[in-house]
């Protein structure tokens, strides 16, 4: 799981940083063309190099009732619902922060260039490290406690971005990124461990919730940016974070058998 999240972070970082650099030296058309070529190339490489499945027994035919039964089983368990909510909130906060921080930094008094703003996404490298570190910490302490600690680190980073000094803002986005990747790493691995059956269906529901958070909360964050500026975005993200802390506390109680 750590390798998967690290690879995802690297891909997202390259997409952001690479496109920003190409836009700065060329045009958005050049950037999208290069990204398209790289995506097709990566797909072909993945297709030919991916090893064959092991210990996997495919169904002979598609039976919708089987899938509905598996999804219903996961959606009726409170632990799974809390984990799905965690993914929804975590990525929603992260996307909201990065989406609208770029608008803030490109305007006065910062006036950052497109290339400088794109370089901000290099912090995803630290996020990849945070994912692996969070996994190791759960071997010493409970997942629930590390999850809550990760959310608190995320919250501290969010608050720091209210500063007007670029260095403090950068420290804030680093903290937010570390907290986000650690949260996602713990929650996604917890889903696999909690699913008694049909683990693939559980993972699919987690990823659905995860990316719905990006789409829905990322868009809602735009309303706060338009009506209340960066302070409004921060209030929105902190509210989501508070919901995440409540969910994490409940997950810890479940883990402890309370």
> What pLDDT was estimated at residue 73?
92
Highest mean pLDDT among 7-11, 24-28, 49-53, 138-142: 138-142
Query: Is the residue at 120 inside a domain?
Result: yes
Residue 250 pLDDT grade (very low, low, confident, very high; cuts 50, 70, 90):
very high
Contacts of 123 (CB under 8 A, 6+ apart): 170, 173, 174, 177
Query: Is the residue at 101 inside a domain?
Result: yes
> What pLDDT was estimated at residue 8?
54
Query: Is the residue at 247 inside a domain?
Result: yes
List pLDDT tens digits, range 75-122.
999 999 999 999 999 999 999 999 999 999 999 999 998 778 888 888
Query: Is the residue at 54 inside a domain?
Result: no
Furthest-apart CA pair in the chain: how many Å? 62
Query: Is the residue at 19 inside a domain?
Result: no
* Total of domains in the chain: 1
Residue 7 pLDDT grade (very low, low, confident, very high; cuts 50, 70, 90):
very low
Query: Is the residue at 109 inside a domain?
Result: yes
Best CA proximity match to 83, nearest among 257, 244, 258, 256: 244
> What pLDDT was estimated at residue 4?
45
Range scoring the smallest mean pLDDT among 59-63, 135-139, 184-188? 59-63
> What pLDDT was estimated at residue 5?
47
> What pLDDT was estimated at residue 38?
84
Look up the domain containing 98 and give its range. Answer: 70-255
The CATH number given to whatever domain includes residue 200 is 1.20.1250.20
> What pLDDT was estimated at residue 12?
60
Query: Is the residue at 3 inside a domain?
Result: no
Residue 16 pLDDT grade (very low, low, confident, very high; cuts 50, 70, 90):
low
Query: Is the residue at 47 inside a domain?
Result: no
């Amino acid at each position: 799981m750590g390798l998967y999240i690290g690879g995802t972070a690297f891909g997202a970082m390259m997409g952001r940083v690479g496109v920003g650099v190409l836009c700065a030296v060329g045009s958005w058309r050049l950037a999208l063309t290069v990204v398209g070529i790289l995506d097709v190339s990566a797909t072909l490489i993945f297709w030919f190099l991916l090893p064959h499945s092991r210990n996997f027994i495919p169904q002979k035919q598609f039976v919708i009732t089987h899938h509905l039964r598996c999804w219903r089983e996961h959606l009726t368990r409170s632990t799974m619902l809390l984990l799905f909510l965690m993914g929804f909130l975590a990525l929603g906060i992260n996307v909201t922060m990065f989406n609208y921080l770029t608008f803030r930094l490109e305007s006065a008094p910062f006036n950052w260039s497109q290339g400088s703003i794109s370089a901000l996404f290099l912090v995803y490298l630290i996020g990849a490290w945070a994912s692996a570190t969070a996994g190791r910490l759960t071997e010493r302490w409970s997942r629930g406690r590390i999850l809550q600690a990760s959310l608190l680190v995320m919250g501290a980073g969010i608050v720091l971005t209210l500063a007007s000094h670029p260095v403090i803002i950068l420290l804030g986005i680093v903290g937010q990124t570390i907290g986000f990747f650690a949260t996602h790493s713990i929650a996604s691995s917890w889903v696999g461990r909690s699913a008694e059956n049909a683990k693939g269906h559980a993972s699919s529901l987690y990823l659905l919730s995860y990316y719905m958070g990006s789409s829905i909360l990322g868009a809602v964050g735009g309303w706060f940016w338009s009506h209340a500026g960066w302070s409004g975005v921060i209030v929105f993200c902190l509210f989501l974070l508070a919901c995440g802390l409540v969910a994490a506390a409940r997950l810890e109680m479940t883990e402890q058998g309370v």
